[in-house]
């Protein structure tokens, strides 16, 4: 009887403890959810500073709650909405680093790419270094999340980024070309044709690469570029110039 008595007591105490843990866990979850909803309301009202403060409260006070992870993503989104793209970039990167298996990782990756993309200047003659990172993460969306809803826009923005880089390469090549610095111009035109083909600059780049090669005493390369231009763009704007250049330099 005494053994049964103590077993009963232990079971009762275990039940009380279990109920206490369950109640505490439930209270914790409710508290995290309430704070999260309050933060969302601030965000919806565009009271962004208060929203960030409240989302940080969710993260700090309820770090093991499912709402803590969601709060991290909302903070990144708020930076993005405010066009604070450097801060957004950092926040999305941290989210990716700490939650690589999260169901919204494709979204975070796309937004990370867009954070870099939105740091690009309006003209290609300025610093385009963010384009390389933007392309890196657009490629990640395309390669790792091929069924994502963000694939179409990632493709478009990646192409925009590549075109800007091609424009920059063309701008630098032209700078050397008009100053008769043909060796440097040739390197740039040749690089553009290899790194950024089919971006709308091939025809002009082939012509000027050919002329630059001829002027740099590289007749074979000059002829190669001009013949490629004629073959690829038989009715192009630069084709007649290519024929004249071959006649001119061939008779030297």
Please check whether residues 109 and 53 belong to one and the same domain: no
Q: Positive or negative, the Cα torsion across 118, 198, 225, 174?
A: negative
Please check whether residues 167 and 252 belong to one and the same domain: no
Give the single-character DSSP code of 200: S
| Structural domain harbouring 216 | 182-252
Q: pLDDT digit string (tens) for 173-223? A: 999 999 999 999 999 999 999 999 999 999 999 999 999 999 999 999 999
Q: Beta-carbon neighbour count of residue 199 at 10 Å?
A: 18
CATH number, domain containing residue 230: 1.25.40
Distance of CA 249 to CAs 169, 234, 252, Å? Answer: 26, 20, 5
Q: State the pTM of this model.
A: 0.84
Q: Which of 128, 159, 179 is the last residue of a domain?
A: 179
Please check whether residues 91 and 76 belong to one and the same domain: no
Please check whether residues 132 and 195 belong to one and the same domain: no
pLDDT at residue number 252: 57
CATH number, domain containing residue 138: 1.25.40.10
Q: Which of 29, 55, 82 is the last residue of a domain?
A: 82
Determine the Cα–Cα distance for residues 96 and 140; give it in Å rounded to an integer: 12
Task: Place 11 in a pLDDT band, splitting at 50, 70 and 90.
Answer: very low
Please check whether residues 223 and 236 belong to one and the same domain: yes
Q: Which of 179, 198, 221 is the last residue of a domain?
A: 179
Q: Which carries the bigger pLDDT value, residue 206 or residue 8?
A: 206
Please check whether residues 72 and 97 belong to one and the same domain: no
Number of structural domains, the chain? Answer: 3
How confident is the model over 59-71, as a mean pLDDT?
93
Please check whether residues 87 and 61 belong to one and the same domain: no
Task: Place 251 in a pLDDT band, splitting at 50, 70 and 90.
Answer: low
Please check whether residues 94 and 58 belong to one and the same domain: no
Going by C-beta distance under 8 Å and a sequence separation of 6 or more, which residues neighbour residue 65? 28, 29, 32, 58
Going by C-beta distance under 8 Å and a sequence separation of 6 or more, which residues neighbour residue 112? 89, 92, 93, 96, 137
Please check whether residues 190 and 152 belong to one and the same domain: no
Please check whether residues 151 and 204 belong to one and the same domain: no
CB 185 within 8 A of CB 208: yes
Please check whether residues 2 and 51 belong to one and the same domain: yes
Task: Place 15 in a pLDDT band, splitting at 50, 70 and 90.
Answer: very low
Please check whether residues 8 and 74 belong to one and the same domain: yes
């Amino acid at each position: 009887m005494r053994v049964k008595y103590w077993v009963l007591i232990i079971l009762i105490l275990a039940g009380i403890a279990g109920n206490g843990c369950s109640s505490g866990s439930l209270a914790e979850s409710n508290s995290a959810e309430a704070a999260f909803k309050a933060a969302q309301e601030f965000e919806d009202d565009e009271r962004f500073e208060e929203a960030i403060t409240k989302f940080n409260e969710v993260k700090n006070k309820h770090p093991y709650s499912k709402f803590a992870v969601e709060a991290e993503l909302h903070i990144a989104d708020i930076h993005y909405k405010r066009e604070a793209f450097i801060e957004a970039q950092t926040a999305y990167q941290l989210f990716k680093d700490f939650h690589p298996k999260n169901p919204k990782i494709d979204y975070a990756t796309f937004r990370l790419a867009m954070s870099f993309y939105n740091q690009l200047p309006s003209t290609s003659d300025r610093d385009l270094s963010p384009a390389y990172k933007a392309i890196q993460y657009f490629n990640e969306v395309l390669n790792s999340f091929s069924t994502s809803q963000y694939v179409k826009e990632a493709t478009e923005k990646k192409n925009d980024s590549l075109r800007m880089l091609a424009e920059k390469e063309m701008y630098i090549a032209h700078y050397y070309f008009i100053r008769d610095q043909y060796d440097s111009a040739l390197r740039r035109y040749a690089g553009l044709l290899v790194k950024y083909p089919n971006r709308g600059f091939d025809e002009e780049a082939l012509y000027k690469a050919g002329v630059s090669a001829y002027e740099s005493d590289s007749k074979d390369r000059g002829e190669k570029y001009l013949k490629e231009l004629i073959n690829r763009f038989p009715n192009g704007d630069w084709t007649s110039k290519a024929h004249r250049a071959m006649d001119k330099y061939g008779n030297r």
